[in-house]
């Protein structure tokens, strides 16, 4: 029976394969985007080492393969190379070389392998020709994945409990490191930005209701994670959408609706979750930052080696009398401090420069286009201030979406310019 079923499904599989290779962004990348909120926490028995044995990693490898085949056999590519791409490649090359002076070369090699896979995925996607249909399909996949995660969180809230023991909702993370509520909240920032943006721009009632519902589910899920950084990121998303929409009063009402939904979710959440969100303090982050920065005189120039922040932190904790914090191998919990300690001033400047180039491209887009990608970009930067995000797929998905939005707009503008009628002034003929 399994053999017969396999033969029966073979034609459909071949059609799906051809479609994926013909339009890898519209099919494979969309599937990758859909899986991001929950696919990285699932281990597959396929013989690959973690974290490459997850559904998102496997689909990510398929995206890379599909794009390579497409670029090899289809003579079309992106209209231009976005300036952030070579800077990110330079950053990845520099941090890859940091194993030579790393305080823990093995750890650096392991972390660089993860980073390189994500940078390669990002760079290859930026080489692809992008049409509006590709962008819409990826947007819808991002929103659908976030809505599924949100619906699961609501179901857990109304049912027996949450996915973690401390009454915080979590579905995203990494195999071997466990699911993490803070990572889950950060992963849902981009789905929230796109859902609200698409709801505002929707031209049919069905689309408007669908995206509003998705936005409400995603906002509720962010609250249920109990991540204060995630909630702050969501507020940044709404603020950016308000500032980048011609009808600010309308989007402000939308933002108020999202806040009301979030507040209602919090009202019925467990008491422990409510206390966590409203309590003061940094959850130990400032101690981690302060302790690690005592080693700045040694590592802020060349860096300690990519991925070695936990080693630097624990060494400082054990040797500095004034150091404070728990004796655990904490990551930096900040993209900025992590880059400074691990990659030094050169790596940190390369990262900031690449991010600035992405932001510049987004700000050059028309107001009616730039809202969701800019909101997702700002939101993930806010989240990254409290998280170490460079090795997580959702960070690079935000950069991919920003690049796709830029390229799709440029492609559409170029096509409109080619079809625009040329005005030829009439010649005035002087009669003899």
Phi/psi at 179 (5° precision):
-75, 150
67/53 Cα distance (integer angstroms): 21
CA–CA dist 393, 254 (Å, integer):
29
pLDDT tier for residue 382 given thresholds of 50, 70 and 90: very high
As given in the structure block, the two tokens for residue 431 are 């009669």
Position 84 pLDDT exceeds 60: yes
Q: What is the pLDDT of residue 266?
A: 75
What is d(CA 369, CA 363) in angstroms, rounded to the nearest whole number?
10
Residue 224 has pLDDT above 70, yes or no: yes
Dist CA 314 CA 311 (whole Å): 5
287 close to 333: Cβ distance less than 8 angstroms: no
Q: How far apart are CA 173 and CA 183, in angstroms?
A: 6
pLDDT above 90: percentage of residues in the chain: 53
- Return the pLDDT at 160: 62
- pTM of the model as a whole: 0.90
Give Cα 279 distance to the centre of its chain: 28
Backbone angles phi, psi at 334, to 5 degrees: -165, 125
Contact 172, 42 (CB under 8 A): no
The residue whose two tokens read 């491209």 is 361
179, β-bridge pairs: 173
- Per the CB < 8 A criterion, the answer to whether 365 and 406 are in contact is yes
Q: What angle do CA 130, 396, 40 make, to 5 degrees?
A: 115
pLDDT digits (tens, 9 = 90+) for 299-333: 999 999 999 999 999 998 888 877 777 777 788 99
Q: Is the pLDDT of residue 206 over 80?
A: yes
User: DSSP code of 26?
Assistant: I
* Cβ neighbour number for residue 235 with a 10 Å cutoff: 16
Predicted local confidence at residue 202, as pLDDT: 86
Closest CA to 240 of 232, 13, 285: 232
Per-residue model confidence as pLDDT tens digits over 230-282: 999 999 999 899 888 777 666 777 777 777 887 787 777 777 777 777 777 66
pLDDT at 58: 92
């Amino acid at each position: 029976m399994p053999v017969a079923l396999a033969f029966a499904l073979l034609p459909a599989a071949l059609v799906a394969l051809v479609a994926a290779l013909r339009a890898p962004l519209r099919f494979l990348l969309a599937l990758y985007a859909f899986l991001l909120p929950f696919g990285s926490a699932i281990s597959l028995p396929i013989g690959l080492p973690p974290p490459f044995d997850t559904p998102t990693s496997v689909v990510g490898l398929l995206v890379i393969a599909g794009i390579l085949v497409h670029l090899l056999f289809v003579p079309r590519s992106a209209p231009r190379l976005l300036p952030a791409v070579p800077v990110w490649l330079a950053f990845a090359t520099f941090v890859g070389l940091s194993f030579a002076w790393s305080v823990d070369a093995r750890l650096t090699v392991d972390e660089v392998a993860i980073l390189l896979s994500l940078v390669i995925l990002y760079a290859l996607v930026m080489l692809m020709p992008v049409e509006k249909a590709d962008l819409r399909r990826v947007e819808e996949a991002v929103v659908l994945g976030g809505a599924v995660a949100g619906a699961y969180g609501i179901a857990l809230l109304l049912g027996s409990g949450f996915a973690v023991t401390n009454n915080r909702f979590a579905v995203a993370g990494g195999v071997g490191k466990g699911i993490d509520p803070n990572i889950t909240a950060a992963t849902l920032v981009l789905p929230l930005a796109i859902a609200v943006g698409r709801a505002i721009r929707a031209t049919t009632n069905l689309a408007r209701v669908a995206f509003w519902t998705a936005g409400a589910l995603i906002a509720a899920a962010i609250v249920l994670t109990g991540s204060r950084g995630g909630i702050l990121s969501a507020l940044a998303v709404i603020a950016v959408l308000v500032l980048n929409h011609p009808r600010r009063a309308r989007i402000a009402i939308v933002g108020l609706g999202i806040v009301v939904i979030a507040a209602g979710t919090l009202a019925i959440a467990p008491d422990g979750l409510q206390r966590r969100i409203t309590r003061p303090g940094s959850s130990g982050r400032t101690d981690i930052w302060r302790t690690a920065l005592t080693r700045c005189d040694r590592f802020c120039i060349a860096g300690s080696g990519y991925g070695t922040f936990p080693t630097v932190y624990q060494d400082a904790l054990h040797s500095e009398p004034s150091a404070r914090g728990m004796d655990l191998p904490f990551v930096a919990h900040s993209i900025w401090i992590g880059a400074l300690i691990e990659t030094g001033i050169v790596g940190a400047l390369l990262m900031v420069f690449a991010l600035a180039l992405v932001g510049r491209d987004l700000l050059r887009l028309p107001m009616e286009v730039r809202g969701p990608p800019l909101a997702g970009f700002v939101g993930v930067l806010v989240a990254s201030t409290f998280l170490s995000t460079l090795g997580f797929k959702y960070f690079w998905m935000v950069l991919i979406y920003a690049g796709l939005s830029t390229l799709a707009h440029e492609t559409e503008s170029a096509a409109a310019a080619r079809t625009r009628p040329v005005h030829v002034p009439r010649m005035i003929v002087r009669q003899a």
